[in-house]
Amino acid sequence: MEEATMTMDERATARAVVLGPGEGTAVWFLGNLMVVKATTESTNGAYGLLESLVAAGSSPPLHIHHGEDETFWVLEGSMTVRCGDETFSAGAGSYVFLPRGVPHTYRIDSPTPARLLTLLTPGGCEAFFVEGGQPADRLELPPAGTVDIPRMKRAAEKFRSEIIGPPLAPRA
């Protein structure tokens, strides 16, 4: 929006946001490290963005986001993705779009952790990971046993997500 057409309130809140490596809200969620890089507040509701380090073999339960689309860009590693009735592979450099309302999950297939960017559109659901996880005290994968399933389920309900099935089976 051009400055001439912006209201005084819009001009007061319009600003660039720059976060360096490792900056953002860091949380441990389902055994993974997630760093919130953009929030609905910082993007005027447009999107939320997370950078994640996802453990080898990790797979979240089959779930549905009812209010937002979820997009992954695989920076490092490889994964199997299930969306609805389709299952496909995505390696480093891949783009994966998962539409809202469709059951989905994934499994990290690479022998080392994967690095992902996750875009949530519109924004807001990034707060689910913060509320459903726990603050990370260092920028690495959490120690074993740090998953609080009841807390995650409460956050899922609050943020219009639904857990409907198990994770993908481990790779044979």
Question: Residue 137 falls within a domain, yes or no?
Answer: yes
Paired with 98 in beta bridges are 70
Which CATH number do you get for residue 148?
2.60.120.10
In this predicted model, what pLDDT tens digit does every residue of 68-108 receive, in sequence order? Answer: 999 999 999 999 999 999 999 999 999 999 999 999 999 99
Q: Give pLDDT, residue 1.
A: 47
Q: How many independent structural domains does the chain possess?
A: 1
Q: How does pLDDT run across 101-157, given as a tens digit for each residue? A: 999 999 999 999 999 999 999 998 899 899 888 999 999 999 887 667 778 788 888
Q: What is the pTM of this model?
A: 0.86
Structural domain includes residue 18: no
Residue 149: per-residue pLDDT: 75
pLDDT of residue 171 exceeding 70 = yes
Q: Is residue 43, in this structure, part of any structural domain at all? A: yes
Residue 21 lies in a domain: no
Distances (CA, A) of 162 to 8, 87, 154, 172: 40, 20, 10, 28
129 in any annotated domain: yes
Residue 14 located in a structural domain: no
Which one-letter amino acid corresponds to residue 161?
S
Residue 135: inside a domain, yes or no? yes
Domain that holds residue 121: 27-165
**pLDDT higher for 5 or 26?**
26
Question: Domain for residue 74, yes or no?
Answer: yes
Residue 12 has pLDDT above 60, yes or no: no
Cα 14 to Cα 57: distance, rounded to the nearest angstrom: 41
